[in-house]
Structure 1
Amino acid sequence: MAKREIEMQVLPVSEAIDGKTRLILAGEQLFAQNGINGASMREIATKAGQGNHAAVQYHFGSREGLVRAIFDYRMEQMEPERGAMLDRARMTGALKDARTILEIILLPQLDLQDADGNHSYASFLSQYLLQSRSPDFGDFGGSEPPNLTAALRLMRQRVDYLPPYVAQRRLISVSLMFLNILMRHHGTDEAAFGESFPDALEDTMEQIVGSMCMPLRLASVGTASA
């Protein structure tokens, strides 16, 4: 496929943003900085400007409820772009192309910057995935938005030669590859890495496609060592 032109933008944050959303964004930032289990509910409420230190429990019930709310909030933001990308892939006959499908799954995260211009969601998601033990393909916090679900279904069909647990392991691995470059490279001086962010992203996407789609060779390795 032709190299995708990367356009970065900060999603607007309204000054009149409601208190529940402020808690979601504050939780995302503090979880990103301190770990999902490293930030207290009181700290999150304070950062969100809430006088009631039990505001997180009031709105979300628990830490796990807030984590789910962060996923739901960000997934909803990415759904329109994923829908547009699915439509383009459908019109061009690219719904079976691995690179196209992986772009639909991963690239909408490029636009998710917090109020400080950082990719706190990428850091938050990385920590969640590193803790995840789910064998279910495409398990990202329990949220199942339709466009992401459709893209994950296409990806599973594309790698139907892999056992489900292998496909899930690879999906987590390639997601971490993408999130890592997003956190490390974007917004830094090009001279610090010797390459531009679009070039680094293009190379990483090629690695991701290869890692996700390579044949499973465990059986042949076992035979050779017997």
Structure 2
Amino acid sequence: MNAIIRLTDAKEALVRAAEKLIAERGLDAVSDREIARAAGQKNNSAVQYHFGDRAGLINAILDFRMIPLNQKRHEMLDELLNRKEPPTTRDLVKVLLLPYMENLKTSREDSSYTSLVSQLFQRGNQQILAMDPPRSSSLVRMTEAFATTLPHLSVKERHARLTFMGSMVVHTVARWDQQCRLDPETWTPEHIVQQTRFLIEFLAGGMDQDALQREPESRS
């Protein structure tokens, strides 16, 4: 399956200009006209012409970035689940995180979209990702796999930890993308690899921790 999303030159220019401006200034601080100008479009209504409206542009960005990322996760899961030994929690955390980090490490121009995803999460719009199978079907498989590595957790607690981890990953990667642009001398590919290792261990440790036994507070 080829997960590369093909866009016309004009649409791709608009997508790339929009995600860069949104990362630098915020979703509400960028006008469609500014996006068109940054994309080299003479028509100030280029966003409406090519995508219908701002929501259409946002969905195009998410498709352009998240569908290939989703397919990469499927490939990683296939490799994991076809091994003789069962996957560990740490293995599954890597499947969630590493596709994000690969863009951040290899191409700074292809990681700005993470800021948009983070902003959508902050607004409570994560359902725009979760309810779209081409963007997130791999997450369903991951959730099922986590159930086998974390059998000691109740369904409710496992879901809560997965939700928290997903949110942490999105916001952390978006912040690292910003740091890469602000301080490229520090945020080298080697530094990103090191920070990624730390984050994997932190997340795997949190997911693997035994369920907390909460006892009622005694009152004198």
CA displacement at 1:133 relative to structure 2:
5.7
**Alignment pair present for 1:189 and 2:189:** no
| CA shift digits 1:62-105 (9 cap, x unpaired) | 22221121111101222442232112101225665222222212
- CA distance in structure 1 between the aligned counterparts of 2:93 and 2:112, rounded to whole angstroms: 21
| Structure 1 residue aligned with 2:142 | 151
**Alignment pair present for 1:55 and 2:51:** no
* Structure 1, gaps ≥5 residues long: 1-13
| Structure 2 residue aligned with 1:64 | 55
| Structure 2 residue aligned with 1:220 | 214
Which one of the candidate residues 38, 59, 63 is aligned to 2:29?
38
**Alignment pair present for 1:83 and 2:78:** no
Q: Which has the higher helix share?
A: 2
Change (3 A) 1:56 1:107: same
Change (3 A) 1:161 1:82: same
Which one of the candidate residues 124, 142, 166 is aligned to 2:116?
124
CA displacement at 1:158 relative to structure 2:
5.1
Change (3 A) 1:44 1:158: farther
Change (3 A) 1:34 1:88: same
| Structure 2 residue aligned with 1:161 | 154
CA displacement at 1:39 relative to structure 2:
0.8
CA displacement at 1:30 relative to structure 2:
1.0
CA displacement at 1:126 relative to structure 2:
2.1
Change (3 A) 1:79 1:118: closer
TM-score, normalised relative to structure 2 = 0.73
Q: What is the DSSP-based 3-state SS (H/G/I as helix, E as strand, rest coil) of the residue aligned with 2:27? A: coil
* Structure 2, gaps ≥5 residues long: 1-5
| Structure 2 residue aligned with 1:11 | none
CA displacement at 1:110 relative to structure 2:
2.2
**After alignment, is 57-66 or 167-176 more displaced?**
167-176
**After alignment, is 94-103 or 27-36 more displaced?**
94-103
| Structure 1 residue aligned with 2:168 | 173
Aligned residues: 205
**Alignment pair present for 1:110 and 2:105:** no
CA displacement at 1:32 relative to structure 2:
0.8
| CA shift digits 1:156-211 (9 cap, x unpaired) | 66566252456423421243234434543697335x89x83322210111112233
- CA distance in structure 2 between the aligned counterparts of 1:156 and 1:203, rounded to whole angstroms: 24
Change (3 A) 1:126 1:99: same
Q: Give, as a single letter, the amino acid of the residue that structure 1 aligns with 2:217.
A: A
Q: Give, as a single letter, the amino acid of the residue that structure 1 aligns with 2:118.
A: S
- CA distance in structure 2 between the aligned counterparts of 1:60 and 1:68, rounded to whole angstroms: 9
C-alpha contact 2:114 2:173 (8 A) present in aligned 1: no
C-alpha contact 1:41 1:56 (8 A) present in aligned 2: yes
| CA shift digits 1:83-134 (9 cap, x unpaired) | 3211210122566522222221221122335976463122222222222265
